[in-house]
Amino acid sequence: AQSVTQPDIHITVSEGASLELRCNYSYGATPYLFWYVQSPGQGLQLLLKYFSGDTLVQGIKGFEAEFKRSQSSFNLRKPSVHWSDAAEYFCAVGARDDKIIFGKGTRLHILP
Amino acid sequence: DTGVSQDPRHKITKRGQNVTFRCDPISEHNRLYWYRQTLGQGPEFLTYFQNEAQLEKSRLLSDRFSAERPKGSFSTLEIQRTEQGDSAMYLCASSLFGLVGNEQFFGPGTRLTVL
C-alpha cells in the first residue's frame, strides 16, 4: 500500500537551532517526493520536490531534503530555524501526473 | 495569473443541507484535483479531472459527493445532505499534465462546518 509516515507529530526547537523532520514512505513505483508547508490560515506551499538525479535537493526558505532509497526516507533539514518557520509540514509522495499521498504532518514549534 | 482560487473560503451549514464549492485553477492547467483535510490530518485525495473528464474517484467520495468540471476550466464539488463528519477543509489543486515534475499548486481551501 502507498503511504507516508511522519513519526513526529510535534517538534519543538529553539530559534537558531538546526532542524530535521523525518519522513518515510511506502510506494511501489519510482516515487516523486514532496515537502509542503502550511501556516495557520494559509494554503499549502511547496518547499521542495525530488524526481530524479541528485538525492540532495534544495528548496525555498533555506530548506533541503535528502532522498535515501535504501531507507525509503526523505527527511527535511534546515541548518538554522527562524520564528517564522513555525508551521505544519507535510511530506508527500506521488507518481508522475497523479494524485499525491500526504503524511499526517509534523507541527513545528519555535522557542524564542 | 493569481493562482488557484476557491470560493467560498468558509461555509457554515446545517446538517442535511446541500453545499457547493467552486475551484478556479491556474488558467493553462488541464489537471484539477480535490482533496479533503480534517483537523490534525494531512490532505486526502478525493478526485481529479483531466480537462472535463473525471479520471479517478477515491472511496472516500461517497454517493453524496459529486464533482464536475463542465468545460475543462473551473470545477465544482457538491455535497448533498451534509453530515457533521463532512466538516473539513476542502482543497483544490491544479497542474499541467505532461510537465516534468507534476507540481500541483494548491488553492487556499474552503473550510466547511456542518452544525
pLDDT along chain B (115 residues), means of 10: 89 98 94 94 95 91 94 95 96 86 87 97
How many interface pairs between A and B have CB atoms less than 8 angstroms apart? 54
Residue A31 and residue A77 in contact, taking contact as beta carbons nearer than 8 Å: no
CB contact under 8 A, B31 and A97: yes
- Out of B102, B106, B107, the one facing A96 most closely (by C-beta) is B102
Residue B64 phi, psi dihedral angles, 5° rounding: -80, -15
Residue A15 phi, psi dihedral angles, 5° rounding: -60, 135
DSSP codes of every residue in A55-109 = SEEE-GGG-EEEEEGGGTEEEEEESS--GGG-EEEEEEEE-TTS-EEE---EEEE
Mutation for A interface: B106, B110, B111, most A CBs within 10 A: B106
The alpha carbon of residue A64 is apart from the nearest alpha carbon of chain B, in Å, by 17
The alpha carbon of residue B48 is apart from the nearest alpha carbon of chain A, in Å, by 8
Chain A residues with CB-CB distance to B32 below 8 A: none
- Out of B35, B91, B101, the one facing A49 most closely (by C-beta) is B101
What does the angle CA A47 – CA A48 – CA A49 come to, to the nearest 5 degrees? 145
Q: Is the model more confident about B62 or about A6?
A: A6
DSSP H or E stretch at residue A7:
none
- Residue B26 touches partner A, C-beta closer than 8 Å: no
- Out of A36, A49, A99, the one facing B56 most closely (by C-beta) is A99
- Residue B38 touches partner A, C-beta closer than 8 Å: no
Q: pLDDT digit string (tens) for A34-82?
A: 999 998 877 899 999 998 888 999 999 999 999 999 999 999 999 999 9
pLDDT at B31: 93
pLDDT above 90 as % of chain A: 79
Radius of gyration of chain B (CA): 13
Residue A105 and residue A88 in contact, taking contact as beta carbons nearer than 8 Å: yes
CB contact under 8 A, A97 and B95: yes
Q: How is residue B97 annotated by DSSP? A: T
CB contact under 8 A, A104 and B40: yes
Q: How is residue B80 annotated by DSSP? A: S
